[in-house]
């Protein structure tokens, strides 16, 4: 799976909610999502916060095409404050997104011919799907019921989606109807340390 943001999974772009359907990441020019995150490192002797992270994602345009299909332009800015020693870094980038066949496709560039299937738009209990790109196989699983997720922006009723790439460490994403991704977390091991990363939605502007 291509690494577009953190996310990130990316952090992913979702849905258009036509005909009264659910809209788990509204696509409209001017939509903005802001997240605050943290990374902690746990060893056998201590747990330390190593960095604070801030992400802004904005849908800036809908005037490009890929393979004859119109796409939304998604711009992100990732700011990280790292401790010991104190450093500050900013990363920026652009991806392109469209909805097709109940799926959200994310392209890394205007010449990308193999987009990621970021999310299915018809989320429901226990739904699963698999994407295969090259040698990478990613399995997505929706929780059995919605969860109440408390983040700085507000409290959301959200589906938890577990994402596992190549049978590796799971990533967890929470999606709320009418807003999009409201929380993300994952944990991995580096040598003998356990590293935990999470992001919470702090503010959303939805057109």
Contact 149, 182 (CB under 8 A): yes
Residue range 160-171, pLDDT digits in tens: 999 999 989 999
Residue 7 located in a structural domain: no
Q: Position of tokens 């699963």?
A: 128
Q: pLDDT digit string (tens) for 63-115?
A: 999 999 999 999 999 999 999 889 999 999 999 999 998 999 999 999 999 89
130, part of any domain? yes
Tokens 């990732």 sit on residue: 78
Total of domains in the chain: 1
Print the domain residue range for 196: 18-205
Which CATH number does the domain housing residue 179 bear? 2.40.360
Report residue 23 as tokens: 């809209």
Q: Rounded to an integer, what distance in angstroms lies between the CA atom of residue 201 and that of residue 203?
A: 6
Instruction: Report yes or no on 38 lying in a domain.
Output: yes
157 in a structural domain: yes
The residue-averaged pLDDT of 42-53 equals 93
HSE-CB at 189 with a 13 A cutoff on CA atoms is 5
pTM: 0.87
Please report which residue ranges of the chain form alpha helices under DSSP H. Answer: none
């Amino acid at each position: 799976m291509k690494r577009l943001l953190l996310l990130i999974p990316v952090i992913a772009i979702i849905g258009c909610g036509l005909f009264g359907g659910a809209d788990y990441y509204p696509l409209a020019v001017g939509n903005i999502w802001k997240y605050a995150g943290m990374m902690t490192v746990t060893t056998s002797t201590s747990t330390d916060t190593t960095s604070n992270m801030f992400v802004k994602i904005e849908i800036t345009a809908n005037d490009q095409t890929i393979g004859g299909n119109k796409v939304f332009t998604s711009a992100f800015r990732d700011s990280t404050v790292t401790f010991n020693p104190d450093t500050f870094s900013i990363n920026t980038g652009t991806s392109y997104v469209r909805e097709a066949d109940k799926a959200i496709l994310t392209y890394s560039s205007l010449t990308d011919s193999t987009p990621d299937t970021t999310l299915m738009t018809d989320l429901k209990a226990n739904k699963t799907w698999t994407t295969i790109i090259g040698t990478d196989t990613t399995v997505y699983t929706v929780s059995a019921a919605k969860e109440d997720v408390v983040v700085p922006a507000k409290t959301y009723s959200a589906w938890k989606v577990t994402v596992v790439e190549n049978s590796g460490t799971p990533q967890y994403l929470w999606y709320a109807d009418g807003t999009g991704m409201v929380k993300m977390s994952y944990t991995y091991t580096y040598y003998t340390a356990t590293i935990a990363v999470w992001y919470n939605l702090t503010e959303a502007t939805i057109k």
